[in-house]
C-alpha cells in the first residue's frame, strides 16, 4: 500500500507548508488578533536575545523577514507589473492582510532610493515609546519584496517608528549599503 502522507520538514520554509488555512480553520477563519502575532514575535525575540544577544537576534528577525518578503512577492504579487501597478498591488495586499498602510514618500527615477511609510504597522503601532526603532522584521520583509521585484539587492533601514515616538514607520530603501 502506497503511503499517501508525505513527510514534511517544517523547519525548512516553503510556501506550501503554510497549508490551506481556510480548510483548516473552517470555524475560526483566517483572521486573528494582532496580540497573538505580537506575542509570538516578541517572545521569540526575547528568547533569541537572551541566547544570542540583541544585535544577532535582531539580525535573525531581519533575515526571517527577508525570506518572508521574498516568498510573499513570489507567491502573492505580479512581479511583471510596471512600478506603479506593482506598488498599487502591494499597497492593496498589505492593507487586505492588515499588515499596514503603505505609502511611498519618495522614489528616484531609477528606483535606487525609496522612502516609504507604513501606518498602523502590525509590528509596532500602539507599543510604548522607547526611543528606539523595533521593526527589524519589517526591514527584511520590505527588502525581500524589493529584491524580488527589481532583481537588485536593497538595504532597508527603519528611520522612524511608533516606538521612537512617530506615528508611522518610515523606511529608507537603497541599493547602497547603509550604516
Express each pLDDT in 113-150 by its tens digit: 999 999 999 999 999 999 999 999 999 999 999 999 99
Q: How far apart are CA 63 and CA 152, in angstroms?
A: 17
Beta strands 155-160; 168-174: pairing state: antiparallel
Q: What does the alpha-carbon distance between residue 177 and residue 154 come to, in Å, rounded to a whole number?
A: 8
Q: Which grid coordinates are listed for 146?
A: 524589493
pLDDT value of residue 96:
96
Q: What is the pTM for the complete model shown?
A: 0.92
Question: How much is the pLDDT for 6?
Answer: 60
CATH number for 123: 3.30.1380.20
**CA 36, CA 25: separation in Å to the nearest integer?**
16
Query: Is residue 119 in some structural domain?
Result: yes
Tell me the residue range of the domain where 66 lies.
15-174
Q: Establish if 166 belongs to a structural domain.
A: yes
Looking at the structure of the chain, the number of domains it has is 1
Q: Evaluate whether residue 5 is within a structural domain.
A: no
Phi, psi of 167 (to 5 degrees): -110, 5
pLDDT for 73-127, tens place per residue?
A: 999 999 999 999 999 999 999 999 999 999 999 999 888 999 999 999 999 999 9
Residue 6, in any domain of the structure:
no
Q: Tell me if 65 is assigned to some domain.
A: yes
Query: Does any domain span residue 179?
Result: no
| pLDDT for position 176 | 85
Q: What angle do CA 63, 122, 74 make, to 5 degrees?
A: 50
Please indicate, yes or no, if residue 34 is contained in any of the structural domains: yes
For residue 61, pLDDT over 80 is answered with yes
- Report yes or no on 9 lying in a domain: no
Q: Return the percentage of the chain with pLDDT > 90, whole number.
A: 87
Amino acid at each position: 500500500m502506497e503511503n499517501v502522507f508525505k513527510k514534511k520538514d517544517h523547519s525548512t520554509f516553503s510556501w506550501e507548508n503554510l497549508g490551506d488555512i481556510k480548510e483548516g480553520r473552517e470555524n475560526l477563519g483566517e483572521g486573528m488578533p494582532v496580540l497573538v502575532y505580537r506575542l509570538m514575535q516578541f517572545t521569540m525575540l526575547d528568547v533569541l536575545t537572551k541566547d544570542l544577544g540583541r544585535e544577532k537576534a535582531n539580525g535573525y528577525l531581519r533575515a526571517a523577514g527577508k525570506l518572508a518578503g521574498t516568498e510573499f512577492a513570489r507567491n502573492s504579487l505580479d512581479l511583471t507589473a510596471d512600478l506603479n501597478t506593482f506598488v498599487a498591488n502591494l499597497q492593496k495586499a498589505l492593507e487586505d492582510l492588515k499588515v499596514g498602510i503603505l505609502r511611498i514618500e519618495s522614489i528616484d527615477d531609477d528606483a535606487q532610493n525609496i522612502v516609504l511609510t507604513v501606518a498602523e504597522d502590525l509590528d509596532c503601532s500602539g507599543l510604548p515609546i522607547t526611543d528606539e526603532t523595533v521593526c527589524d522584521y519589517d526591514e527584511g520583509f520590505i527588502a525581500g519584496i524589493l529584491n524580488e521585484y527589481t532583481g537588485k539587492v536593497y538595504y532597508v533601514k527603519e528611520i522612524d517608528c511608533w516606538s521612537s515616538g512617530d506615528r508611522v514607520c518610515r523606511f529608507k530603501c537603497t541599493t547602497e549599503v547603509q550604516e
